[in-house]
Amino acid sequence: MDLATVNALSYEDFVDAFGNVVEKCPLVAAAVWSKRPFATLTALEAALGEFIDALPPSGILRCHPDLAGRDLRDGTLTRESSEEQAAAGMDALGSEEASRMSRLNEEYKARFGFPFVICARMNDKAAVLRQLSERRGNVREVEVTRGIEEVKKICRLRLHTLVLTDAPKL
């Protein structure tokens, strides 16, 4: 849809369309609806980012599923997460990789109190495993900041799949 259509959406339609740009957190879309009209896609993205920054950080991180976790195996991921994880190869882990991923996910959650968040669309399974292994050694403040950055990357990519860019037509 184009930006004029986005700006004309009712509250319900806006939340329906953008309610999962931040995983399972329609509150974000609901909160920025009142900021319409958005002059550009960048302005919409900025409004979402500002609201994300105002939220308790670990809460928004808890909305994300484990990578290659139970939700993927059970088929209960959101459509967006399912596509993103599949693109990164999370649905094609060998048994040893799956076991390692599960163990690292549990260690990460035990250490930080929220799931490991990484923009799967910008990584492959080797990069995800490497980052998960490395990042679990960070201090909590670093991981909260990094996790929020990753949430914003995911949000940005999801927005760009929903809204036509601001680029002029030739």
Which portions of the chain are predicted below pLDDT 50?
168-170
pLDDT at 167: 53
Q: Cα angle vertex 93, ends 119, 114, to 5°?
A: 45
- Residues acting as catalytic residues: 64
- Listed in sequence order, the DSSP H helices in 9-69 are 11-18, 26-33, 41-54, 57-61
Q: What is the pLDDT of residue 47?
A: 97
Domains and CATH numbers, the chain: 3-60 (no CATH), 65-151 (1.10.3330.10)
CB 152, CB 52: distance < 8 Å: yes
pLDDT of residue 169: 46
